Amino acid sequence: MRRSFFKSFFLAPLFFSTGAAAVFLCAFGFVIPPLLVLGKVVIVLLLGFTLTDVALLFSPKLRFSAKRIAPRVFGIGDTVKIALELDYEGSFDLKVQVIDELPVQLQERNFGVQLTMSPGLRKVGYEIMPVNRGLYRFGDTRLLIESPLRLVRRMVTLPTAAETQVYPSILQMRETGMMAFSRMTYQAGTKKMNRMGQSYEFEQITPFVEGDDYRNINWKATGKTRELMVNQFQDERSQNLYCVISKGRAMKLTFNGLSLLDYAINSTLALSNVALKKYDKVGLISFSDKIGTALRAENRKGQLQKILESLYSETERDREPGYELLYRSLDRLAKTRSLVVMFANFETPQMLDRAMPILGKIGKKHLFVMVLFKDAELEQAARFPKDSIDSVYRRTLAEKYLHDRNEISKKLRNRGIHTISATPEELSVSTINRYLELKAKRLI
């Protein structure tokens, strides 16, 4: 009991400042005797109030409890809202510093919330953004409390330890899925998501809404209902889609705290969700110097969960990706012509040249789409004015980077490989748009 008391007992700054004032008065009391008396009075009062403060803070009548409210699973790159419900039983207000022990992956060492707590229930909210997949462990909630005297502090530890898992972004998957199935939607107010259903298999007649093709107006139905009606069409079903993710060292590059691999994983999950809802079969291949995941394209119940669990455990490797391994794995899984969407990062045209023979062979057998990452900051740097040696140097490097990206895209297109070039933030929307476009053109 004594040991736990001293572990939770702290002297507040006001105690030290008052004690220093008392020492100052006593020291000058040898010259001015009344100051010595005043200093002794301050010391006696300080000790008396300190003992009173200890009695108040460590009274058994003070009771605390806490409950952490958080989503069951987190999504990487998503803003997650956490709430703490603090229940305080007492008779006076407390000044409290709430210290919630966050997972080590967040690297947050100075997290705390200051508040004044009255008796009753109090909610404290904060936000976190996971940037790594895996198991996150929350520790206990600690309260550093002060009474109105503010001479002593007490540390109260409340058991709220819990574990949660951080998966690829399920929130982003749902948002892009909703946009894909709406007739006209926008990303951040400006980004248009292509409308689904542009082939020639009739599905139903629906009222006209903004964004529908005027060529699909059904004039007979319009005459009967006296409002514009349009024919809706659905795409062909049960087509094969394989998402291929490179896990080589070039995918370790980070933007806004997330690696390119994480962006590719989030986009793969979003694309798989849309494709499965379009009744297509979806498979997954991840590779570096060895094959990671090799999941055959299916549209059975639970396929999305299989993809999610596979993506959860993927990590980058320090080796160069082996494209011959990819070709053999894809040849074993995809027996018929399929849509292959590959996420990779080629830093130079020379890196692409080494992989091009294999990529060309894949492009001959399948409809091949290569997803390339675009750096918006370097594109902006390429437009900087050349007003100093440093700006000339930066702009030259940026222009060299853009030239290499254009050269890579050109070489891929010359081999009949479709390309998508998008910033990491726009990757999911751009990839789904291209998938819908290819289905609408009946190229799959």
Instruction: Pull the structure tokens for residue 411.
Output: 């070489």
Average of pLDDT values for 72-81? 90
Q: What tens digit of pLDDT does each residue of 394-408 get?
A: 788 888 888 888 899
Percent of the chain scoring above 70 in pLDDT:
92
What pLDDT, in 10s, does the model give residues 38-76? 989 999 999 999 999 999 999 988 999 999 999 988 999
Q: Say whether pLDDT at 191 is over 50.
A: no
* DSSP class of 188: T
Backbone angles phi, psi at 388, to 5 degrees: -160, 165
Mean pLDDT of the chain: 86
pLDDT in tens, 432-441: 999 988 887 7
Contact in structure between 346 and 374 (CB atoms under 8 Å): no
The model's pLDDT over 309-347, given as tens digits with 9 standing for 90+, comes to: 999 988 888 888 999 999 999 999 998 999 999 999 998
Task: Check residue 192 and give its pLDDT.
Answer: 43
* pLDDT higher than 50, residue 198: no
Output the pTM of the full model: 0.77
User: What confidence score (pLDDT) does residue 368 get?
Assistant: 95
- Which has more pLDDT, 271 or 257? 271
Q: Which helix (H) or strand (E) holds 106?
A: none
pLDDT > 60? residue 197:
no
Which ranges of 246-348 does DSSP label H, i.e. alpha helix? 260-277, 303-312, 323-333
pLDDT recorded at residue 233: 63
- Residue-by-residue DSSP string for 11-79: E-HHHHHHHHHHHHHHHHHTTSHHHHHHHHHHHHHHHHHHHHHHHHHT-TT-EEEEEEE--SEEETT--
Q: Are 180 and 432 within 8 A, CB to CB?
A: yes
Out of 61-65, 228-232, 234-238, 257-261, least confident range: 234-238
pLDDT the model gives residue 333: 93
pLDDT band at 29 (very low <50, low <70, confident <90, very high): confident
